[in-house]
Amino acid sequence: MKFWGKSNLLVLFCTVLFAGFQVNALSYDYTASIECLAKPHKPQYNGGIIVNPELNHGLNGWSSFGNAKIQHRESEGNRFIVAHGRQQSYDSISQKTYLQSNKFYTFSAWIQVSSGSVPVTAIFKTSSGFIHAGAIVAESNCWSMLKGGLTVDASGPAELYFESKNTSVEIWVDSISLQPFTEKQWKSHQHQSITKTRKSNVKVQAVDEQGKPLANATIIIQQKAPGFPFGVAINKNILTNRAYQNWFTSRPFTVTTFEDEMKWYSTESSQGHEDYSAADALLQFAKQHNIGVRGHNVFWDDPRYQPGWLKSLSGQQLSDAASKRLNSVMGRYKGQVIAWDVCNENLHFNFFESKIGASASAMFYNWALKADGATTLFMNEYNTIEESGDGDSIPAKYLQKLRDIQAFPGNNNAKMAIGLESHFTTPNIPYIRSSIDTLAAAKVPIWITELDVTSGPNQASYLEQILREVHAHPQIQGIVIWSAWNPRGCYRMCLTDNNFKNLPTGDVVDKLIHEFGLTSGLASGMTDPNGFFEASLFQGDYEVKITNPSVANSSSVQGLNVGPTTESQQQLLLQVSA
């Protein structure tokens, strides 16, 4: 903290977090339930454009899909619809509607099945094909909320129905909602969320030592570091390429992930011979530039990406090798990384579970908790928000795996988090939002960990849409883009060419870095007659300079952190002496 001046100057800082502004648009409902309840909630948006959403008017608006028989039932005052006598996976209930290509649709329904625990998918049949809106693992004797979303390529009639591969169960449905939003409304949700969760309104008052407000004092508020973690993956190519270094360090990235250098096949390609030299060098590079590092990854459940020598080990030998691996990498970098991807892709794959036992993942987190329990431990998975049709990693199955890990003896104190890889082809923006809503109900941190978009004519525009959506979501706490540079081509998406000139994707990132308040933002002006100056600032670290208008060359400089707060007001009282 530095001060200059010839007279005393008293400065009062107040930061206030406002709830946002009002716009003439239907608000988005970010809530989701992950509990199986005795009775379903009321339908969101009163059902939206769904006819008879609560089934209070018999079967009005609803019909049979396929060869299912449908029935209107009531239990303890709750009315719902049932599809029974199912012979095909798609035999269920349905409702015809009309979908518009320029609308974003958020969908929800409460589902129950007659027995067991069964995946059920909501599907819209359109003239151009079948669109999966979302899925849930439904249970018997209680109601589960399915939340999803969709867009369509062309306007036209559509038919909603539900699908389950288990044809022996009845599908019960209640509290159905389909709410359309215009693009303008959707963007207003993003704007409102950013104003509420990423920014704070800062009020600064300058007074003299007698407490008299200083009117017309000059206020300059300069950002020194952004508060929202945002970055790009790197690899060992950056260590020897000055142009790569310059491109990377000239941007306000505050977090990174090493593409391959911490992975087991990189650090121990032959048993007993560990080599951390590349990871060590990358970590040192990141430290020099004050960039946090995500530890990626301790284990990868895909059998294709194991060190070759692992595959011949017995179950006990593999368990011993895994214990040694975890304690080696986590012990080496304990306290030096901001997160650990302990298990990578353990929803799609089960290499360790198949050889060690079904609880292998949960056991690994138990070991990780003991090795570096102060650092957040992530699951990391793909297609949870990218592909609504991938039944292996729907939000419900992600959360079930998370609960299984948390329930393992000794894991109750683990600092767990959700990592969403986010490898997109064509984004379903409403599905992204609704899936994050569902995951957020688990009340653990959520990060976008490996964001990219496959090559194609819309790559840059899709990247922009996705970045805007995930950054605006109130529960996303960090973003890493998966575009580490390689002269032979990046994994799926580069941001620059081989001369480190921006590609269109790189231009998108630079544009949004500015819009997201990640650059050195500046707010300046004069205090009013009561000595106040107000500014709306993105969260982060700032330097505030106040100049006394009545005394030449009198000023003070104070550091200020603008962060999320639930308090209505924070105050810092500072007296500045000559």
| DSSP tag of 485 | -
Preceding peptide of 235 cis, ω within 30°: no
CB neighbourhood size of 114 (10 A): 15
Tokens 């019909």, located at residue: 63
Cα 485 from Cα 420, distance rounded (Å) = 21
Per the annotation, the verdict on 450 as an active-site residue is yes
Residue 42 DSSP one-character state: P
CA 511/CA 460 separation, integer angstroms? 12
The three-class DSSP label of residue 303 is: helix
From the candidates 54, 268, 345, 386, give the one annotated as an active-site residue.
Answer: 345
Tell me the two tokens of residue 476.
Answer: 């996303």
Q: How far is CA 468 from CA 391, 439, 472, in A?
A: 26, 19, 6
Q: What is the C-alpha separation between 357 and 315, in angstroms, rounded?
A: 8
Cα–Cα distances in Å, from 484 out to 258, 302, 379? 8, 21, 21
Cα angle at 479 between 374 and 353, to 5 degrees? 60
Phi, psi dihedrals of residue 135, rounded to the nearest 5°: -150, 160
Quote the tokens at residue 509. 């990132």
Name the nearest CA neighbour of 298 among 344, 240, 249, 352. Answer: 344
| Strand stretches in 51-170, DSSP E | 63-65, 69-75, 78-84, 92-99, 103-113, 117-126, 129-139, 144-150, 156-163
Cis amide linkage into residue 346, ω under 30° from 0? no
In the set 54, 261, 386, 450, the catalytic residue is 450
Helices (DSSP H) in 357-479: which residue ranges? 360-372, 395-407, 429-440, 459-472
- Nearest-angstrom CA–CA distance, 483 and 385: 19
543 catalytic? Reply is no
Contact assessment for residue 417 and residue 411, using Cβ atoms and an 8 Å cutoff: no
Annotated catalytic residues are 345, 450
